[in-house]
Amino acid sequence: MKHLFKTLCAFCFFASAVQAQELLSPNGELAMKFELQDGGRPSYSLTYKGKTVIAPSMLGMKLKDNTTLCDGMTVENVERSSQDETWTPVWGEENSIRSHCNEMLVHLKQDSHNRRMDIRFRLFDDGLGFRYEFPLQRELNYFVITDECTQFAMTGDHTAYWIPGDYDTQEYDYTRSRLSEIRGLMEASITDNLSQTSFSPTGVQTALMLKTDDGLYINLHEAALVNYPCMHLNLDDKNFVFTSWLTPDPNGDKAYMQSPCTTPWRTVIVSDDARDILASRLTLNLNEPCKIADTSWIHPCKYMGVWWEMITGMSDWSYTNELPNVRIGQTDYSTLKPHGRHGATTENVKRYIDFASENGFDGMLVEGWNIGWEDWFGNFKDEVFDFVTPYPDFNVAEIRDYARQKGIKMIMHHETSASIRNYERHMDAAYQFMKDNGYDAVKSGYVGSIIPKGQNHYNQWQVNHYLYAVQKAADYKIMVNAHEAVRPTGLCRTYPNLIGNESARGTEYQAFGGSKPSHTTILPFTRLIGGPMDYTPGIFENDIHKLNPNNNSWVNTTLCNQLSLYVTMYSPLQMAADLPQNYERFMDAFQFIKDVAVDWDHSWYLEAEPMEYLTVARKTKGKDEWFIGGTNGEQPRTSVISLDFLPKGKYVATIYKDGKDAHYKNNPQTYDISQQKVTEKTKLKVWTAAGGGYAVRIVPVASK
């Protein structure tokens, strides 16, 4: 693969002669301007088709030595270059990705301290990325950032789709409001029974989706978050200016730096068509090429799991109630009395393996297989799991052999309970245990407050841990799907063994009181901008009370909405999360989950409006087969799409759609499956219920 930036020209000039530096995107629709404001203060602005997206916004850093890199700057020189390359992801929504941009590298000097800072801008047709770079220099060698002062000045009181700024969780339902309403709503409505409130009443997380009154869609996020804290945004709600807010360490410091070094990219994706936001590959394009030489062991995967039964409370992760007796490494579990509700028993796991194997799945996740779950959460317990010792009723070797014989790959579960020291201490042994027992993927989890105390989920120290776990996994040829980790920023390009993250409110909340029916119509515009999500779709039984009489939660979607998610919520790792016995009641609809692909040659975004609906078509990698998913939000609507993405020909489409009186609340399981002949000229019109959706599989007539 070529990784080429062609240098176009370089300007050198003196401070007194500084002109604004302008940069155009390859198609000329985006234009940005870098300028030094009075006092040598760096700033930038951005327009799209002549409309202002980012009004003049300040750039720079505050440092712990009470100096700043925000003023007193001169431009030493500006280098310009361009890139046009096509690269091949190991897995993805496309089999090849074009990265086409113009670049401007502004070299700044601060004479008062004799130090230098560069700002690199890359302008693509779909948006802007820029980052700070600190060349090796004596005057700025080790330094501590106490605040990053990057602004994103909005032009008005836009509509925002936001979740509160929080250092420990992203597992919120989204709120849609005007920027001016965030403060009031935030103060009134942090009712999620999760951990924290926002760091400020106008603090929000990225990827932040915005819509202007004149129809611009703007997405603010970051790319390539490495050795730096996660960026939140703090809104000045009088002037509608966001400023970056880095997640602090226990001392309140933000980032410990040593030059030469760079920050992550700050990204602004923009279009007047919401579908372009979903089609953007800017986040991936700003990440480094793959660093894993042999990627042959990395593979997309469709899996089931002994999981939903624990999440709903039908069964438990733990084996015994004999709590006070348990000490990891000292307790002989065979002497403890089982409570009889343990989910991960050899027998139960085999039942799931049978079902998964009969229905063509690749993988099987089992949670609660290892000792420690009696007392794993909430007590700042350092030595909580050892990741290698099974409960007495889970026979590792027997399950390994059974799964192998049935063609199923076991998926490991490492709940760390956020005890980072403990996990890092055990990591080599835990990964080796996986290799020895036929596991090539791990779902890791970081529930609870981070240990050591005072750390949080998204600061620099913790960000480094997540990457360490992924890099070390690569040494063992292990794929990672990390839950509760920092939200992704496209690092899966560089480390494609990072096949999934949760990092948002997943399906589990449908068993914890429910999520908004519109939730999955906003996630592709927010959380998924950074990379795939292990959302764990496929819940067919809405009434959780039927599974556990003590749980009255309701799954706020129709059954066909669940089917649509396999296409609209892109992930190389897709779970069929419900219980085998629930699928057995709807085997005709389950057929879609069996058929749907997990890796793609190409994707088309046919309809989209944040928090309302989206319809996506994808072609299976290496096969003449297409899938369509239409996910609808709260309002019933009719989706009208053209199949002109198909090559000329005759096809059969199998359509799974909501029954005519379907509704997520009172009639979610009614659906209609039909087949019809289609060509590239066909227009499909499909009604979708409130909280509904549809799914389509298309194959050439001959291969039906």
Q: Which residues bind ligand NOJ (CB under 6 A)?
A: 307, 311, 367, 415, 445, 447, 483, 502, 506, 508
User: How far is it, in rounded angstroms, from Cα 150 to Cα 57?
Assistant: 7
Q: Are strands 573-575 and 301-306 parallel, antiparallel or unpaired?
A: parallel
DSSP state of 201: T
* 488-517 residues near Ca ion, rule: CB under 5 A: 502
User: How far is it, in rounded angstroms, from Cα 356 to Cα 346?
Assistant: 15
415 contact, one of Ca ion, ligand NOJ, none, CB 5-8 Å limit per kind: ligand NOJ
Output the smallest distance, CB 168 to Ca ion, in A: 12
User: How far is it, in rounded angstroms, from Cα 598 to Cα 595?
Assistant: 10
Give 233 or 569: the residue with its C-beta nearer to ligand NOJ.
569
Q: Count CA atoms closer than 13 A to 189's CA, side-chain side.
A: 16
**Residue 121 three-state SS:** strand
Neighbours of 408 (CB within 10 A): 22
* 46, two tokens: 């951005």
Output the smallest distance, CB 576 to Ca ion, in A: 18
The burial of 449, by beta-carbon neighbours within 10 Å (0-12 exposed, 13-18 middle, 19 or more buried), is given as buried
Neighbours of 6 (CB within 10 A): 10
E-assigned strand segments in 308-429: 363-366, 409-415
Give 277 or 311: the residue with its C-beta nearer to ligand NOJ.
311
Which amino acid is present at 393? D
Output the smallest distance, CB 413 to Ca ion, in A: 13
Look up 508 and say whether it is catalytic. Answer: yes
Output the smallest distance, CB 569 to ligand NOJ, in A: 15
Give 110 or 419: the residue with its C-beta nearer to Ca ion.
419
Q: Answer positive or negative: Cα dihedral of 386, 389, 394, 396.
A: positive
DSSP string, 458-526: TSHHHHHHHHHHHHHHHHTT-EEEEESSPPP-STTTT-TTEEEE--S--GGGGGTT---TTHHHHGGGT
Output the smallest distance, CB 174 to ligand NOJ, in A: 18
367 contact, one of ligand NOJ, Ca ion, none, CB 5-8 Å limit per kind: ligand NOJ
Question: Applying CB under 5 A, which part among 365-373, 483-491, 655-663, 668-676 lies near Ca ion?
Answer: 483-491
457 contact, one of ligand NOJ, Ca ion, none, CB 5-8 Å limit per kind: none
487 contact, one of Ca ion, ligand NOJ, none, CB 5-8 Å limit per kind: none
Residue nearest Ca ion, CB atom distance:
483
Give 364 or 617: the residue with its C-beta nearer to ligand NOJ.
364
Give 300 or 506: the residue with its C-beta nearer to ligand NOJ.
506
Output the smallest distance, CB 509 to ligand NOJ, in A: 9
E-assigned strand segments in 224-288: 231-236, 241-246, 255-258, 261-262, 265-271
**Residue 120 three-state SS:** strand
Residue nearest ligand NOJ, CB atom distance:
415
* 603, two tokens: 């994707």
Q: 378 with 366: CB under 8 angstroms?
A: no
222 contact, one of Ca ion, ligand NOJ, none, CB 5-8 Å limit per kind: none
Give 556 or 603: the residue with its C-beta nearer to Ca ion.
556
Please name the helix (run of DSSP H) or strand (run of DSSP E) that holds residue 146, with its range, or none: strand 142-148
Question: Applying CB under 5 A, which part among 390-398, 480-488, 656-664, 675-683 lies near Ca ion?
Answer: 480-488
Give 414 or 483: the residue with its C-beta nearer to Ca ion.
483
- Contacts (Cβ under 8 Å, ≥6 apart) of 104: 21, 23, 34, 78, 79, 80, 120, 121, 123
Output the smallest distance, CB 305 to Ca ion, in A: 14
Give the residues across from 575 on adjacent strands: 303
Catalytically annotated residue among 171, 222, 309, 508: 508
Output the smallest distance, CB 445 to ligand NOJ, in A: 4
Give 504 or 597: the residue with its C-beta nearer to Ca ion.
504
Give the residue numbers marked as catalytic: 508
Residues in the site for Ca ion, rule: CB under 5 A? Answer: 483, 502
